[in-house]
Amino acid sequence: MICVLMMASGAAWESDAFARLTSAGGVVVLKRCVDVDDLLATATSGQADVAVIGLDAPGLDPSAVTHLRRYAVRPVAVASTSADDLDVLARAERLGIAALVAADDLDSLPEVVSTVEDLGDTQVRGGEDLPSAVVTTPADEHRVVAVWGPGGAPGRTTVAVSLAAELARRGSPAVLVDADPHGGGVAQQLGILDEVSGLLSAARLAGAGQLGDRFLSTTRAVGDQLTVVTGLPRADRWIEVRASHLESVVDRARELGDVVLDTGFSLEDDPGGDFGARPARNAMTLTALGAADEIVVVGAADPVGLSRLARGLVELREITGGAPVRVVVNRMRSSLGWSEREIAGMVEGFSRVSGLHFLPDDQSAVDRALVAGRSLVEGGDGQLVRALGGVVDAVFPTTLVGHEPRRRGARRRLARN
């Protein structure tokens, strides 16, 4: 039995299609949805196999189709004009829909619904995986690293900017993406004066299926090797970026170079975000962590910061999906009264990490970089810059070609086996 959802948004073909489907053997129409939001909410129940949708329905975009796939619902589009029309085919390709039926040829609809197969990233029940014409394969040699840290401003953005800037300084192409759903700070740190958010622009293009060709228009170049996707101009704009949008940005960015993702602090999931068109508040952070080949966790060296770091590592362990976790303890100073060994013992007691790094407290260097609108790396050599270089040595080891490992100031301690 094939369970079908319909969403025609008042199109003239809706009644005819409904009659043909209900009279066909082995097909049951579960619901006639009024709009895209209703369709997505109903698909979340996991009871439907196929969605018959109007190709021109308001609000239908690639992220909506991705949502259907997430719940194993195969889309079949009904076009108001000929299914062979080039414009119709182009729109279906942008949406990622492979099955098309013309509104004036609904006789074939029951058969298409009963036999439809879909793209390889769909969780199809019993269907074969077919190659996708709209998914871009990322370059395998480039890495994606997410920089995360608990609340309390431990220095996530400063570390993310520094890692990307050091990669660029070494001549390795890098893409820095500000994926903080609570309001980005990458643009301010790098002195980028731009009224247009790169992330919001990229999300709009991804929603229209046009990001592949126009991704570079959403970025800003900082020097020859560093490309930046600026973040949200205001915290309330998070609702405009879906998880699938960020996935598309990461895939496209990975084709250009190594990717560094600056994320938010909260790991709390919002199940309600799946019940319709509204994304979850922390979807960007969770998506960034899920896409990462390695996660760099930043924590402050003071008692409050270490307490938050310990809790954060426990929480992070449940959602990393096996990606290695590397810890950076920021603002380390002798006045705190404890040693690196003592902090290492605490960190290793809460989580198994691939490496532990300490960044010395150099507030004057950070202040100079912030006021000048540039990265710490551009400010010249120093103990903090050398320590950050040690982190890059460990996270991006291929960039060591032609460079001596930064042993002074890096102070790295590997987790005990």
User: For the segment 202-222, what is each residue's pLDDT rounded down to a tens digit?
Assistant: 999 888 778 888 999 999 999
pLDDT at residue 266 greater than cutoff 70: yes
What's the pLDDT score for residue 122? Answer: 42
User: For the segment 157-177, what is each residue's pLDDT rounded down to a tens digit?
Assistant: 999 999 999 999 999 999 999
**270, 239 contact by CB (below 8 A):** no
Mean pLDDT, residues 365-394 taken together:
94
User: For the segment 84-143, what is each residue's pLDDT rounded down to a tens digit?
Assistant: 677 888 888 888 898 999 988 899 999 999 998 754 444 433 333 333 333 333 445 799
Q: Give the domains, in start order, of the chain with CATH numbers.
A: 2-115 (3.40.50.2300), 144-413 (3.40.50.300)
pLDDT at residue 192 greater than cutoff 80: yes
pLDDT at residue 293 greater than cutoff 90: yes
How sure is the predictor about 417, in pLDDT bands with cuts at 50, 70 and 90?
very low
User: For the segment 327-366, what is each residue's pLDDT rounded down to a tens digit?
Assistant: 999 999 999 988 999 999 999 888 889 999 999 999 999 9
What's the pLDDT score for residue 330? Answer: 97
pLDDT at residue 83 greater than cutoff 80: no
What's the pLDDT score for residue 212? Answer: 85
What's the pLDDT score for residue 45? Answer: 79
pLDDT at residue 405 greater than cutoff 90: no
Pairwise CA distance, residues 44 & 30, whole Å: 13
Candidate from 2-6, 141-145, 275-279, 392-396 with smallest mean pLDDT: 275-279
User: Quick one: three-class SS letters along the chain?
Assistant: CEEEEEECCCCCCHHHHHHHHHHCCCEEEEEEECCHHHHHHHHCCCCCCEEEEECCCCCCCHHHHHHHHHCCCEEEEEECCCCCCHHHHHHHHHHCCCEEEECCCHHHHHHHHHHCCCECCCCCCCCCCECCCCCCCCCCCCCEEEEECCCCCCCHHHHHHHHHHHHHHCCCCEEEEEECCCCCCHHHHCCCCCCCCHHHHHHHHHHCCCHHHHHHHHCEEECCCEEEECCCCCHHHHHHCCHHHHHHHHHHHHCCCEEEEEECCCCCCCHHHHCCCCCCCCHHHHHHHHHCCEEEEEEECCHHHHHHHHHHHHHHHCCCCCCCEEEEEEEECHHHCCCHHHHHHHHHHHCCCCEEEEEECCHHHHHHHHHHCCCCHHHCCCHHHHHHHHHHHHHCHHHHCCCCCCCCCCCEECCCC
By DSSP bridging, strand 220-222 and strand 226-229 are antiparallel
How sure is the predictor about 38, in pLDDT bands with cuts at 50, 70 and 90?
confident
pLDDT at residue 233 greater than cutoff 80: yes
pLDDT at residue 373 greater than cutoff 80: yes
Neighbours of 221 (CB within 10 A): 10
The pTM (predicted TM-score) of the whole model is: 0.72
